Amino acid sequence: MKIADFQQIEEKWQKYWEENQVYKAVFDKTKPKYYVLEMFPYPSGQLHMGHARNYCIGDAIARYYFLKGYNVLHPIGWDAFGLPAENAAIKNKIHPKVWTENNINTMRKQLKRLGISYDWSREINTSTPQYYKFTQWMFLKLFENGLAYRKKGLVNWCFHCNTVLANEQVIDGKCWRCNNQVGKKELEQWFIRITKYADSLLEELENLDGWSNYVKQMQRNWIGKSLGARVKFWVPDFQEYLEIFTTRPDTLPGVTFVCIAPEHSLVKKIVEKTNNKEIIEYLEKTASLTTTERTKEKTGVFTSFYCQNPLNGNLVPIWIANYVLGDYGTGAVMAVPAHDQRDYEFAKTYNLPIIPVIMPEYEIENKAYEEQKGKMFNVGTIDGILVDGMDCNDFKVFVVKYLESKGLGYEEVNYKLKDWLISRQRYWGAPIPIIYCDSCGIVPVPYEDLPVLLPENVEITGKGESPLSYCPEFVNTTCPKCGGKAKRETDTMDTFMCSSWYFWRYTSPYRNDLPFDKDELDYWMPVDQYIGGIEHAVMHLLYSRFLSHFLYDLGLVPTKEPFKNLLNQGMVCKDGKAMSKSLGNIVSIEEIVEKYGADTGRVFELFVAPPEKDIEWSDKGIEGVHRFLNRFFKYVKNLIESKSEGVLQEEDRKKILNRVYRMLSKITEEFESKRYHFNTSIAALMELLNFLEENVEIVNNLSKQDKDDVIDILIKAISPFAPHLAEELWNLWGKKGSVFKDKWPEIKHEYLVENKITIPIQINGKLRGQLEIDIDADKDTIIHYILNEPKISKYIQNKQIKNIIFVKNKIINLIV
């Protein structure tokens, strides 16, 4: 097959698939279903081969299940709201809606050109009123159940994007989108109370057998459940308690100072009382630092005030320290420099006392002993009980009970997870469906008034305040409760609100009264195979799980967990770095399709490495794959056209069928096991092709039935990876319709029984060849074969065999 034929064949079959709606999913309870979903793309401009890998993996899986007779749902859509569209609008003086729709049109063509088996009739776009009406519906459900609330507080602020970021969107102190440093700002914001579901989200991770342990551990770490104690330190000068949370109450006797965050409420009182210039200057300096900068170089300032250790009554100094964050825990920490390295370094810097209270189990110098094992010492008695010599873990239990008895503390579970901040001071997002009325307060927009539409005549400047606040026809409204004058909320929702429920919408995308049809949802959910990048482990995946748990509790969705199996694909790299337009190292889809065909690009990306591993783009590699597909097509086409059928030894027949069914078994196992190591599947196809080409006469003499079986298996085995090529061969074979409407071949296990085995032959420890022999052949038989095989026997001519090392069915080594 000539290279030019690829384009002709691919266009032909893509047209056939579309005209005949080959991949259209139809609700049918009589059939088993399989829901395959790749994380939907943000329409940023153009896809490249780095993006394509995700879709090629999902497509291979979908096509296998088509052939297995499943009712496959394989939809696509667009995560279309977001900051890049707004920035492009400012830069190019084009409306975000126009920019987004243009990009969607381009990317839709690219995906169709790759031949992905999507049901395009279910295509969704999160920026359309038909979709964000139900994003707003989700918000109202959260609001009426007490899980959406408004409060004033410090938020993560990207000064480059001029917007708020959720904690999950700050990565190493930088904005997840623009990679610039993130600071803090005080604003009134809307939050989702995801923390209420912290335990549920943790517990259900144990049931996600189809998820990698790595992703599950990332979520566990992000939720960060820890058991400890809340402890009250009395502050005499202000006649109030300073509360801290600690996971190490056993170290309470070793507290030598307490640190509070610059944002802590006590700091304001200290400044008002003292007007201390050193403290004021320190606060100003800290306010200009990002979270990352604050935690890198740990600094502090002494307040001149003290608080009382509730365990021993000792007065310890109160410091303001930059590494203590106001939105984590209570915003105050007890410092035990002998048993916490961070506290140790701070104490050394400011010459503060270090008092060890747990005896190290090994010699330790110039650092803190942080291990939670050892005997207590240097404490004495508490409440008449001798503490010294007590195991530190037993003392931990004792301390909490003691504090509870005195009303100075109690056992507490704490979480690193914070409530989800969803307010964004941006235009291109779903409006928050809330109205503010002077008489009625905060009033939710009634369900029947959804969607709250985004006005199109808005000036987008990129300033910090939401552009919607400058649009009077949007802002000014009527209170649905009292009928009086009111104003709308002008912030829009975090785009992760849109993507946290889209997988449900695919099940019934044209429903106008509800976000989904219950019968269809019950049938299609959960998603059987979800595919996407590891970068979404603690954002999209966590938010989607939360919303699913919430709606499950309301009886609105059939499963608590939305994604049964999760595959996180690796990146496609070029020149050692992930493909990126900004780095200038992309390979365009058009370039590959025009030069080699879509099937070549698809097979290359599946062949280079297992799906979870990163791959390095290789021009030589893609040329090699192209040659293989040409050979494969030519071989199968010749086999279809061959008329010969002759006398064949049963041993030769079984040899061919054994290799064919071994390949089929290998590929089937990769799909059924959910490993999806398509690299080994494609390698098995390549090895089989080599074998068949070497044994062309035997294959041509197979009976018509055997030959038909071989052709059927070859076409279907390659079809998930190179669907256009498979369809063309299917058609050349005289079959009607699409190969994907047929059935995956059955494995005939009688042909998998091995009668022969290949073992390595060594002479003096060096590999000199291989021999195919009967299984369980004895040593004398193998030596007979060696002596009669010129390619090996030449190494022992005129030499004496001194010793023979023989392991049956494994190896033979002649010492000469």
Residue 459: the pLDDT is 87
Residue 644: the pLDDT is 73
Residue 158: the pLDDT is 84
Three-class SS string for 452-472? CCCCCCCCCCCCCCCHHHHCH
In this predicted structure, the answer to whether residue 81 has a pLDDT above a threshold of 60 is yes
Helical (H) or strand (E) element with 680:
helix 678-694
In this predicted structure, the answer to whether residue 299 has a pLDDT above a threshold of 70 is yes
In this predicted structure, the answer to whether residue 172 has a pLDDT above a threshold of 80 is no
Mean pLDDT for the stretch of residues 30-47: 95
Query: Nearest 5°: CA angle at 90, between 84 and 95?
Result: 80
| E runs forming strands in 247-314 | 257-260, 300-308
Distances in whole angstroms, Cα of residue 520 to Cα of each of 74, 511, 545, 807 = 15, 11, 20, 59
> In this predicted model, what pLDDT tens digit does every residue of 330-363 receive, in sequence order?
999 999 999 999 999 999 999 999 999 999 988 8
814 HSE (CA, 13 A, CB side): 22
Length of the chain: 816
**What is the value of pTM for the model shown?**
0.87
Distances in whole angstroms, Cα of residue 184 to Cα of each of 153, 162, 167 = 10, 12, 11
Largest CA distance in the chain: 111
In this predicted structure, the answer to whether residue 168 has a pLDDT above a threshold of 60 is no
In this predicted structure, the answer to whether residue 249 has a pLDDT above a threshold of 80 is yes
Residue 724 has φ and ψ, to the nearest 5°, of: -65, -45
> In this predicted model, what pLDDT tens digit does every residue of 543-569 receive, in sequence order?
999 999 999 999 999 999 999 999 999
Residue 723's contacts (CB-CB under 8 Å, 6 or more residues apart) are 13, 59, 63, 115, 117, 599, 740
Structure tokens at 179: 């990679």
Residue 167: the pLDDT is 66
In this predicted structure, the answer to whether residue 1 has a pLDDT above a threshold of 70 is no
Nearest to 660 by CA among 600, 707, 697: 707
> In this predicted model, what pLDDT tens digit does every residue of 120-164 receive, in sequence order?
999 999 999 999 999 999 999 999 999 999 998 777 888 888 777
Question: Contact at 8 Å (CB) between 334 and 408?
Answer: no
Question: Contact at 8 Å (CB) between 328 and 294?
Answer: no
Predicted confidence band at 463 (pLDDT cuts at 50, 70, 90)? low
Predicted confidence band at 464 (pLDDT cuts at 50, 70, 90)? low
In this predicted structure, the answer to whether residue 815 has a pLDDT above a threshold of 50 is yes
Q: How far apart are CA 730 and CA 598, in angstroms?
A: 18
Residue 34: the pLDDT is 98
Residue 298's contacts (CB-CB under 8 Å, 6 or more residues apart) are 321, 322, 323, 342, 345, 346, 349
Q: How far apart are CA 247 and CA 138, in angstroms?
A: 36
Say how far residue 778 (Cα) sits from the centre of its chain. 53
Predicted confidence band at 3 (pLDDT cuts at 50, 70, 90)? very low
Mean pLDDT for the stretch of residues 770-781: 83
Greater model confidence, 643 or 575: 575
Backbone φ/ψ region at 441: left (φ over 0), alpha (ψ -120 to 50), beta = left
353 HSE (CA, 13 A, CB side): 13
Helical (H) or strand (E) element with 806:
strand 803-807
Greater model confidence, 799 or 739: 739
Mean pLDDT for the stretch of residues 470-480: 96
Residue 225: the pLDDT is 93
Residue 176: the pLDDT is 75
Q: How far apart are CA 246 and CA 227, in angstroms?
A: 9
> In this predicted model, what pLDDT tens digit does every residue of 734-758 receive, in sequence order?
999 999 999 999 999 998 887 678 8
Percent of the chain with pLDDT over 90: 79
Q: How far apart are CA 486 and CA 492, in angstroms?
A: 18
Nearest to 309 by CA among 385, 245, 232, 386: 232
Structure tokens at 353: 């006392």
> In this predicted model, what pLDDT tens digit does every residue of 195-238 receive, in sequence order?
999 999 999 999 999 999 999 999 999 999 999 999 999 999 99
* Beta bridge partners of residue 485, listed in sequence order: 478
Query: Number of helices and strands (H, E) in the chain?
Result: 27, 36
Predicted confidence band at 728 (pLDDT cuts at 50, 70, 90)? very high
Residue 241's contacts (CB-CB under 8 Å, 6 or more residues apart) are 232, 233, 234, 235
DSSP 154: E
Question: Contact at 8 Å (CB) between 494 and 422?
Answer: yes
Backbone φ/ψ region at 152: left (φ over 0), alpha (ψ -120 to 50), beta = beta
Choose the weakest-confidence range: 495-509, 652-666, 770-784. 770-784
Identity (one letter) of the amino acid at 89? A
> In this predicted model, what pLDDT tens digit does every residue of 372-428 receive, in sequence order?
999 999 999 999 999 999 999 999 999 999 999 999 999 999 999 999 999 998 999
Only one residue has tokens 């943000």, namely: 42
